[in-house]
Amino acid sequence: MLTRFPPKYASKRDLPAFQLEGLRWTVSHAFRNSPFYRGRLEGAGVSPGDIRSIGDLARLPFTDADDLRDGYPLPLLSVDPREIVRIHSSSGTTGKRKILCYTQKDIDDWLYMFARCYELAGLSREDRVQICVGYGLWTAGAGFQLGAEKLGAMTIPAGPGNLDLQCTFLLDLQTTALCCTASMGLLLAEEVQARGIRDRLKLRKGILGAERTSDAMIATIRELLGVDRVYDIPGLTELYGPGTGLSCDAESGIHYWADHYILELLDPETLAPVAPGEIGEMVYTTLCKEAAPLIRYRSRDLTRFVEGDCPCGCILPRHDRILGRSDDMVVFRGVNIYPGQVDEVLSQVNGAGSEYQSHFTRREDGKDYMTLKVERATQAAQISDGALSGEISREIKRNLMISCAVEILPYGSLPRSERKTRRTFDDRRY
Ligand code: ZN
C-alpha cells in the first residue's frame, strides 16, 4: 500500500470534491495570469465563478498541441517568468519543438507522483535502479532519476543504448530495477540471453515507459531477464512528463494520479465522453500545475477506463494501457484500426511473438489489403507456420472484423530499436 506517497484524498467518495477544488483553482489561476487562457475562456463565455460542480468541466474550451506551437517559446505561461526553475522539451512529431516550463512547486509535485510510482512498484531504499532512458531536454531522464532519489534508492543514470555498459552495470552493481522503453527492454533482455548472464543478475523489477506495450512483449522481457514483475508507466511532457500513473501487481490496468489531474476519455470525432469500456482520447486538466497548467488538453493518446475497485486495494482510479494515438489510427475498408488492438489480439494467441508489422497496400483492383507480419514467440517451434497464421487471422477477424493475410517470421527477424518501434506501414496512395 502507498504509505509514503499516498493519495491526497481519503476515500473514493471524496475524489469529486477534491478535484472540484483543484479545477476551480486552475481555472481562476489561468484566467488571472495567462492572456492565452483568459482569451480562450472569455471566448467560451466562461468565467472562474461559473465552475460550481465537476460537471462544469464540460463547459471549458479544449487546448491541443497547436496551442503550444502558437505560444512558442513559453506557451500557456501562467506565472512570472522569474518563478520558472526548469524547462523541458519534446520534439513534436511535426513542426516546432514543444517547450514546457516548471516552477519549483511543479517539480516537487512531479517528483511526488514519480516517487509514488516507485512505491507502488514495491521499490524502496534497498533498491538499485538502473535508468536507461534519455537525459537532457527530455522529461524522461530527470523524472526517473529525481523520482528514484526522492524515494531514496541508489540510482544508476546509465542512459539509453550501449548494451555492453548496461550489462556491465547489471552485473557489477547488482541492479534490482530497470527503467527503460519497452523496445530498449526487449533489446537488453535479448542481450542478457545471448550472453547467458541471467542467473548472475539480481534484477527483480522492470518499469517500462514511453511507448505502447503488449502482454506478449512484457512476457518475453520478463522471461529473458528473469524479473518478477514489469510495470507500465505512462506520461506526457505537457503533463509534467512520465510518472503520471503506474500499473500495479493486480495487472488489471494503470492507476493514474487523479489527485493531480482530471482525465476525460472523449470520442475524437464528437468530443463527447465515451461509454464505459469504450476507447477514447485522453484529455487532461491539471489540478495544481502552476507554470503551464492544462485545461482540457487533447493528447491524441487512446485508452479506456477500467471500472470498479482494484484487487490491490489502491483507491486511485485506473485506465487501460495506451492503445495507440488517434493520429496512428488506420482506416481499412471502413474499419478504424488502432495499433494497440493488434497487440491485444497477438497477446492472446499462443505461439505468436510480441513483434509484428502491419502493412497496408492498395492493388490494381482498387481494393485495400492488409498483411500482418508476425514473429514467432521464443518457444514456439512445435506449431507450424500454417496453423499459427490461421489462428492469428481468425482472431483478427473475430476481434477487429477485418480480413488480413498473415506471414509468420522466425523469432528475432524484425528490426528492434532503442526508442519507439514502428509497426504500421501504410503504402496506399490517396
Ligand atoms: Zn491496483
Q: How far is the CA of 288 from the centre of ligand 1 (A)?
A: 24
CATH superfamily for domain 1-326? ANL, N-terminal domain (3.40.50.12780)
Average pLDDT over residues 337-363: 86
Burial of 28 (0-12, 13-18, 19+ CB in 10 A): middle
- CA–CA gap between residue 37 and residue 78 (Å, rounded): 9
pLDDT of 141 reads: 95
pLDDT at 122 over 70: yes
pLDDT at 241 over 90: yes
Work out the pLDDT band at 429, boundaries 50, 70, 90. Answer: low
pLDDT at 330 over 90: no
One-letter amino acid at 393 equals S
pLDDT at 282 over 90: yes
Q: How far is the CA of 313 from the centre of ligand 1 (A)?
A: 6
Q: How far is the CA of 309 from the centre of ligand 1 (A)?
A: 8
Q: How far is the CA of 295 from the centre of ligand 1 (A)?
A: 27
In terms of Cα–Cα distance, which of 398, 306, 412 is closest to 349?
Answer: 398
Residue by residue, DSSP assigns 365-421 as: TS-EEEEEEEEEPTT-TTS-HHHHHHHHHHHHHHHH----EEEEE-TT-S---SSPP
**Main-chain dihedrals φ then ψ at residue 168, nearest 5 degrees:** -60, -45
Average pLDDT over residues 199-212: 89
CB 331 within 8 A of CB 19: no
Q: Is 131 helix (H, G, I), strand (E, B) or coil?
A: strand
What kind and span of H or E run contains 231? strand 229-233
Average pLDDT over residues 131-153: 95
In terms of Cα–Cα distance, which of 83, 82, 99, 80 is closest to 91?
Answer: 99
Q: Is 88 helix (H, G, I), strand (E, B) or coil?
A: strand
- CATH fold, domain 329-426, is GMP Synthetase; Chain A, domain 3 (3.30.300)
pLDDT at 389 over 80: yes
Quote the mean pLDDT of the chain.
91
Q: How far is the CA of 263 from the centre of ligand 1 (A)?
A: 17
Work out the pLDDT band at 157, boundaries 50, 70, 90. Answer: very high
pLDDT at 303 over 90: yes
Q: How far is the CA of 352 from the centre of ligand 1 (A)?
A: 28
Of all residues in the chain, the percent with pLDDT exceeding 90 is 69
Q: How far is the CA of 318 from the centre of ligand 1 (A)?
A: 8
Which has more confidence, 336 or 420?
A: 336
**Main-chain dihedrals φ then ψ at residue 74, nearest 5 degrees:** -120, 75
pLDDT of 27 reads: 98
C-alpha cell at 66: 497547436
Q: Strand 405-409: give its sheet, edge to edge.
A: 405-409, 368-376, 352-362, 424-426
Q: How far is the CA of 74 from the centre of ligand 1 (A)?
A: 37
Q: How far is the CA of 117 from the centre of ligand 1 (A)?
A: 12
Q: Which of 246-255, 371-380, 388-397 has the lowest mean pLDDT?
A: 371-380
Work out the pLDDT band at 380, boundaries 50, 70, 90. Answer: low
Which has more confidence, 355 or 331?
A: 355
Q: How far is the CA of 361 from the centre of ligand 1 (A)?
A: 41
Q: How far is the CA of 351 from the centre of ligand 1 (A)?
A: 29
Q: How far is the CA of 320 from the centre of ligand 1 (A)?
A: 12
pLDDT of 400 reads: 86
Which has more confidence, 344 or 265?
A: 265
Q: How far is the CA of 21 from the centre of ligand 1 (A)?
A: 25
Burial of 22 (0-12, 13-18, 19+ CB in 10 A): buried
Q: How far is the CA of 317 from the centre of ligand 1 (A)?
A: 9
Q: Which of 49-53, 161-165, 290-294, 361-365 has the lowest mean pLDDT?
A: 361-365
pLDDT of 341 reads: 82
Q: How far is the CA of 247 from the centre of ligand 1 (A)?
A: 7
pLDDT of 340 reads: 76
pLDDT of 418 reads: 65
Using the structure block, give the residue that is written with the C-alpha cell 543514470: 157
Q: How far is the CA of 207 from the centre of ligand 1 (A)?
A: 15
Of all residues in the chain, the percent with pLDDT exceeding 70 is 96
- CA–CA gap between residue 261 and residue 230 (Å, rounded): 25
Q: In the chain, which segments carry CATH 3.30.300.30? A: 329-426
Q: How far is the CA of 119 from the centre of ligand 1 (A)?
A: 12
Which has more confidence, 430 or 68?
A: 68
Average pLDDT over residues 385-411: 92
pLDDT of 364 reads: 84
Q: How far is the CA of 312 from the centre of ligand 1 (A)?
A: 4
pLDDT of 100 reads: 94
Average pLDDT over residues 127-137: 95
pLDDT at 50 over 70: yes
pLDDT of 210 reads: 67
Q: How far is the CA of 316 from the centre of ligand 1 (A)?
A: 8
Q: In the chain, which segments carry CATH 3.40.50.12780? A: 1-326
